[in-house]
Amino acid sequence: AQRVTQPEKLLSVFKGAPVELKCNYSYSGSPELFWYVQYSRQRLQLLLRHISRESIKGFTADLNKGETSFHLKKPFAQEEDSAMYYCALNTNAGKSTFGDGTTLTVKP
């Protein structure tokens, strides 16, 4: 069975500071990993996926198979980054497993 762990329920940083949201997973197969974000009063939406190896809104995430991690990072946080962030794992069989989410607050 797969599992996604986001150890921090709440994370607070000041504007301009670096931010890292942690995500660890367990899965016996080859995982497809995603970060989704939910801004206040908006729908849950994709932020980035590991297969794309892209940077979105300044965020990046690297899949580390040795440490089974997919941490989300941004060097300089902005107030508009305040949101709920979910790490998710997909299997080829179609099942999705989401972590419990991390609420990020960026203070001015």
Partner 1 sequence: GAGVSQSPSNKVTEKGKDVELRCDPISGHTALYWYRQSLGQGLEFLIYFQGNSAPDKSGLPSDRFSAERTGGSVSTLTIQRTQQEDSAVYLCASSLSGGGFDEQFFGPGTRLTVL
Considering only residues 66 through 95, tell me which ones interact with partner 1, judged by CB under 8 A.
Answer: 86, 88, 90-95
Q: How far is the CB of 22 from partner 1 (least distance, A)?
A: 14
Q: Is 108 in the site for partner 1 (CB under 8 A)?
A: no
Q: In terms of CB distance, is 17 or 46 closer to partner 1?
A: 46
Which of these segments, 12-20, 29-37, 60-68, 71-79, binds partner 1 (CB under 8 A)? 29-37
Q: In terms of CB distance, is 47 or 77 closer to partner 1?
A: 47
| Listed residue (85, 97, 106, 61) closest to 7, CA to CA | 85
Q: Is 61 in the site for partner 1 (CB under 8 A)?
A: no
d(CA 68, CA 25) in angstroms, rounded, equals: 6
Neighbours of 87 (CB within 10 A): 28
The Cα-based distances of 81 to 17, 26, 29, 52, 59 in angstroms read 12, 27, 32, 21, 10
d(CA 95, CA 108) in angstroms, rounded, equals: 39
Q: In terms of CB distance, is 42 or 66 closer to partner 1?
A: 42
d(CA 53, CA 48) in angstroms, rounded, equals: 8
Residue ranges binding partner 1 (CB under 8 A): 6, 32, 34, 36, 43-46, 49, 51, 86, 88, 90-101
